[in-house]
Amino acid sequence: MSEIEKKEIEVAGATVPFFTYTIEETQYYEFDTSKCGPPEPMVNAMAGLKFIDAPNKKLVMINHKFPAGLIDKIGENYNIAKENMEDGRVKIIFSYKKGESENADLTQTSCHG
């Protein structure tokens, strides 16, 4: 298998670099907030989730822990998969959920309600 070519992209409101790449027919957007403190993981996730507007697009978040506050806010709007990485970080993959992703409120970027 060949190396995946990741390309850095500009994302409005992001505080960390974002990268995009394609695997088969799916376009991925990825960012790493594992060295960031609140509210940066949520801010960047909300910025990245704006790209997830079709079934062939996914957002990959690498974080130091599972972002429970974020999931509480938008969990019903996306399909979410969690992978524990060997180094202790967590990879969360957000996928489009037909009829729900369109309704996500991506303007709320703070953890407290």
pLDDT in tens, 5-24: 999 999 999 999 999 999 99
Pick the CATH number of 17-103 from 3.40.50.970, 3.40.50.11260, 3.30.110.40, 2.60.120.380: 3.30.110.40
Three-state secondary-structure class, residue 80: strand
Domain ranges of the chain: 17-103
Instruction: Look up residue 66 and give its amino acid.
Output: F
pLDDT at position 28? 98
Give the global pTM: 0.93
The yes-or-no verdict on residue 112 having pLDDT over 60 is no
Q: Which residues sit opposite 29 in a β-bridge?
A: 20, 59
Q: Which residues sit opposite 90 in a β-bridge?
A: 63, 84
